[in-house]
């Protein structure tokens, strides 16, 4: 894999479980997520890729839930 090339083809982040409201005045607000513990997504890569992942370590906004605590994340590579 040619990592310098990835910098040229870098895409926007894909926020899977983050809940962002667009308000009537066009402002946005990060609000508690609508997902429940144990929910997941499964994706299939059809070519080589480099993944950067974060459990959204935010303790200011309600990104991780109403208590503001960070949550663990689990990533599995299925062959």
Predicted confidence at residue 34, as pLDDT, reads 86
Report d(CA 15, CA 43) in Å as an integer.
Answer: 14
Q: How many domains in the chain?
A: 1
* Residue 20 Ramachandran class (φ > 0 left, ψ -120 to 50 alpha, else beta): beta
- Find all residues with CB under 8 Å of 35, minimum gap 6, and list them: 17
Domain containing 66: what range? 1-79
pLDDT in tens, 2-24: 555 555 555 667 778 888 889 99
Residue ranges in the chain whose pLDDT is less than 70: 1-12, 56-59
């Amino acid at each position: 894999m040619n990592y310098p090339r990835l910098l040229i083809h870098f895409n926007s982040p894909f926020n899977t479980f983050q809940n962002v409201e667009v308000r009537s005045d066009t402002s946005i607000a990060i609000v508690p997520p609508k997902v429940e513990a144990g929910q997941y997504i499964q994706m299939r890569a059809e070519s080589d890729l480099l993944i950067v992942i974060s459990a959204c370590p935010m303790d200011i906004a309600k990104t991780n839930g109403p208590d503001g605590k960070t949550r663990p994340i689990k990533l599995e590579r299925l062959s």
